[in-house]
Structure 1
Amino acid sequence: MHVSFRPYWLLAAVLPLVLAACGDSEPDQRAAFKQFLQTRILDKPGVHVPKPSEDESKAFGDYASHYAVITDFNGKMDESVKPLGNLVKTISVRSLNDVIDHRADLKAAQTGLNDMGEHLKQYQAHADAEHAKLKQPEDLKAVYDKAYDRTVSAPTAAFMEVLPQIDTAMNAISDVGDYVEAHKAQIQINGSQITVQDPKVLEELNARLQAVNAQGKAVQQAQTRMQSVMFGR
């Protein structure tokens, strides 16, 4: 007698696995990644680089490595620009005595500022190279490129605009300190009172102090533009 074995129970058990595999298809991964980029980055003002949950990363599939290009850059950028707040405080001099007392601090701050700029250039160059290697369908690429610009290109450009402004302001302050040191015989400082006997020295000192004020305003304007990029305001 011929016996036919039909493992219906086995097919029933395998079917959910097949359906689950279909749920992890490239179109689904792409859709999940696009939605994340749109709703968590582009739809919010300013620069936001949220950390995806474990489930979200899993839903992205191979596209999780595409997001890593953005997160890796931002991690390096955040670490690099941490000293910026202290550097800005360095140029917030309130008196001529401050300028004289902090001449060495200014020189050290300028070195740190230049290093910061060089690091940012290197980090962006690496991120841009990794970005260029990515293979993405056109619909995803359109969204990803906007997110990349918002989180990598735009903040880097903002920082690279303000850093030279700060450097120029530091140069102006250092110039005042150097001038006072070179003419200390003609310049008497008593608290907030400054007495200059030589009219030529007074004129030259005032010109340098005016340059410091002008550069301070330029730094404030650049900071405002940077905050607009970073915070969307």
Structure 2
Amino acid sequence: MKSLFRPGLLLVLALPLVLAACGDKEPEQRAAFSQFLQTRILDKPGVRVPQLTADESKAFGDYSRHYAVISDFNAGMDASVKPLGELMQKGSMRSLGDVIARRDDIQAIQAGLNKMSTQLTSEQAKADAAHAQLKQPEDLKVVYDKAYDKTVSVPANTFREVLPQINGTFDSSLKIADYVNAHKGQIEISGAVVKVQDPAVQAELNALLQELNSQAKNVQQAQARLQSLMTGR
């Protein structure tokens, strides 16, 4: 009689284990998330961070939280650097007279660039800390880390390298404004025409203007670098 009940007992005990195994969706979620990172981020040109659909969030399960580390950073980065275009337009100087007359504007632009850099550094530090806490299987970690580098580390580091280059142009502009104000008696500005009475002052002013032109070229290269990074072109 005992032998008749024993198989049934084993079946009852084994059933919950079978059900638990069938309910584990992690492998499918991991595969779906890994494929998303590869095809929607790594295989695409530039920095692209698509917003997850409801179906994608469901398919990725808890890995949606891992993706949020990337997407939250990019939302913060976008908000931080959004004023850059406006600041660059505001800082466009067409003549020496503009540089002199808009000294306060230049300082305000520099303050905006410094704030931008500080915010970006903070956003990156927050993302890096969250990234470090993620627990991922090795096969997913390889893909995720590449996606993280492309969408977080590289753009953040590039912006933080480029912003001081842009700021250097405004440093040069302020030097010129201060120099002209200190030598008002020898420098006469009428529109685009600049007359300098003292040859020594003229040489020093020319050197400052050459420095500004060199910095302006660096800014153009920096802008092109950012454009290429973000668009992949």
Whether the TM-score (by the shorter chain) exceeds 0.5 is yes
1:1-233 pair list within 5 angstroms: 22=22, 25-233=25-233
Secondary structure class of the residue paired with 1:150: helix
Deviations along 1:107-144, one digit per CA (max 9) or x if unpaired, are 01111111111111111011001001100011100110
CA distance in 2, matches of 1:183, 1:219: 28
Structure 1 position 44, deviation (Å): 0.4
Matched-pair contact (CA < 8 Å) for 1:34–1:144: yes
Amino acid at match of 2:78: D
Matched-pair contact (CA < 8 Å) for 1:30–1:63: yes
Secondary structure class of the residue paired with 1:195: strand
Secondary structure class of the residue paired with 2:132: helix
CA distance in 2, matches of 1:31, 1:153: 24
Secondary structure class of the residue paired with 2:129: helix
Structure 1 position 42, deviation (Å): 0.7
Matched-pair contact (CA < 8 Å) for 1:32–1:59: yes
Structure 1 position 190, deviation (Å): 1.3
CA distance in 2, matches of 1:25, 1:86: 47
Secondary structure class of the residue paired with 1:177: helix
RMSD: 1.6
Matched-pair contact (CA < 8 Å) for 2:30–2:63: yes
Amino acid at match of 1:93: M
CA distance in 1, matches of 2:190, 2:218: 29
CA distance in 2, matches of 1:156, 1:101: 34
Structure 1 position 91, deviation (Å): 3.5
For normalisation by structure 2, the TM-score amounts to 0.89
Identify if the C-alpha distance between structure 1 residues 98 and 23 changes in structure 2 by more than 3 Å, giving closer, same or farther: farther
Secondary structure class of the residue paired with 1:161: helix
Secondary structure class of the residue paired with 1:49: coil
- Tell me the equivalent position of 1:7: none
Matched-pair contact (CA < 8 Å) for 1:47–1:151: yes
Structure 1 position 22, deviation (Å): 4.4
Amino-acid identity (%): 64
CA distance in 1, matches of 2:206, 2:24: 70
CA distance in 2, matches of 1:69, 1:216: 36
For normalisation by structure 1, the TM-score amounts to 0.89
CA distance in 1, matches of 2:47, 2:22: 34
Q: In structure 2, list runs of 5 or more residues that go unmatched.
A: 1-18
Matched-pair contact (CA < 8 Å) for 2:37–2:144: yes
Secondary structure class of the residue paired with 2:62: helix
Amino acid at match of 2:133: K
Q: Flag as ranges the 4+ runs of structure 1 deviating above 3 A.
A: 21-24
Secondary structure class of the residue paired with 2:61: helix
Secondary structure class of the residue paired with 2:105: helix
Identify if the C-alpha distance between structure 1 residues 56 and 154 changes in structure 2 by more than 3 Å, giving closer, same or farther: same
Structure 1 position 24, deviation (Å): 6.5
